[in-house]
């Protein structure tokens, strides 16, 4: 995952060899409770993390 235009977004296809696997991982993560989300090259997200990931998975289904 990454931050694009101040929004949580799927990983870039330029750096992700297995996009199907990456999206499946995001869906699994959305079913987990956690307090912080730490992404490489981006500041940690410390609030509303579960909701952000859950919202992202809804965009992946469309």
The domain locations on the chain are: 2-61
Tens digits of residue pLDDT in 18-49: 999 999 999 999 999 999 999 988 899 999 99
Nearest to 61 by CA among 28, 17, 25, 27: 27
Model pLDDT, residue 62: 55
Global model pTM greater than 0.85: no
pLDDT value for 16: 93
Residue 54 has pLDDT above 60, yes or no: yes
pLDDT value at 61 more than 80: no
Measured CA to CA, the distance from residue 5 to residue 34 in angstroms comes to 23
């Amino acid at each position: 995952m990454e931050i694009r235009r101040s929004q949580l977004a799927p990983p870039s296809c330029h750096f992700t060899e297995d996009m199907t696997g990456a999206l499946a991982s995001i869906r699994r993560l959305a079913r987990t409770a956690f307090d912080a989300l730490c992404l490489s090259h981006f500041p940690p997200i410390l609030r509303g993390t579960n909701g952000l990931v859950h919202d992202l998975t809804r965009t992946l289904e469309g």
